[in-house]
Structure 1
Amino acid sequence: MRPAIRPAVADDLAAVAGLDEVCFGPEAWSSAAWGGEFERVSDDRVILVADEGAVAGYLVLLVPPVEVDVVELLRIAVAPAERRTGVGGQLMTAALKRCAGRTVLLEVAAGNESAIGLYGGFGFEEISRRRGYYAGGEDAVIMRWRESL
Structure 2
Amino acid sequence: MRPVIRAAVADDLPALVALDEVCFGPTAWSEVAWLDEFERLSEDRVVLVADDGVVVGYVVLLLPPVALDVVEVLRIAVAPDRRRTGVGGQLMTVALQRCAGRTVLLEVAAGNESAIGLYAGFGFAEISRRRGYYPGGEDAVIMRWREEA
Q: CA deviation at 1:39?
A: 1.1
Shift of 1:77: 0.2
Alignment of 1:132 with 2:148, yes or no, is: no
> What is the match of residue 15 of structure 1?
15
* 1:53 correspondence with 2:53: yes
SS of alignment partner, residue 67 of structure 2: coil
Distance in 1, Cα, partners of 2:95 & 2:124: 13
Identity over aligned pairs, percent: 79
Query: What residue number does 1:39 align with?
Result: 39
**What letter is aligned with 2:98?**
R
- Partners of 1:8 and 1:131 lie apart in 2 by 33
Aligned match of 2:24: 24
Mapped partners of 1:40, 1:82: distance in 2: 28
Measured against aligned partners, the alpha-carbon deviations of 1:8-37 in whole angstroms (never above 9, x if no partner) come to 001001101110000000010111001100
- TM-superposition CA deviations, 1:95-144 (whole Å, max 9, x none): 00000000000000000000000000000000000000000000000000
**Whole-Å separation in 1 of the counterparts to 2:132 and 2:21:** 22
Match of 1:110 in 2: 110
One-letter code of the match for 2:42?
S
Specify the alignment match of 2:87 in structure 1.
87
- What are the superposed Cα offsets for residues 30-56 of structure 1, whole Å, 9 maximum, x if unpaired? 110011001111100000000000000
Q: Aligned-residue CA RMSD in angstroms? A: 0.4
Across the two proteins, how many residue pairs are aligned to each other? Answer: 149
Say which SS state the counterpart of residue 67 (structure 1) adopts. Answer: helix
Secondary structure of 1:143's counterpart equals strand
User: Structure 2: how far apart are the matches of 1:39 and 1:115?
Assistant: 28
Q: What does the per-residue CA deviation read over 1:53-96, in whole Å, with 9 as the maximum and x for residues that have no partner?
A: 00000000000011111000000000001000000000000000
Partner Cα distance (1:41, 1:124) in 2: 26
User: TM-score, normalized by length of structure 2?
Assistant: 0.99
Where does structure 2 lack aligned partners over 5 or more consecutive residues?
none
Question: Counterpart in 2 of 1:123?
Answer: 123
Q: Distance in 1 between matches of 2:53 and 2:39?
A: 23
Unaligned runs of 5+ in 1: none
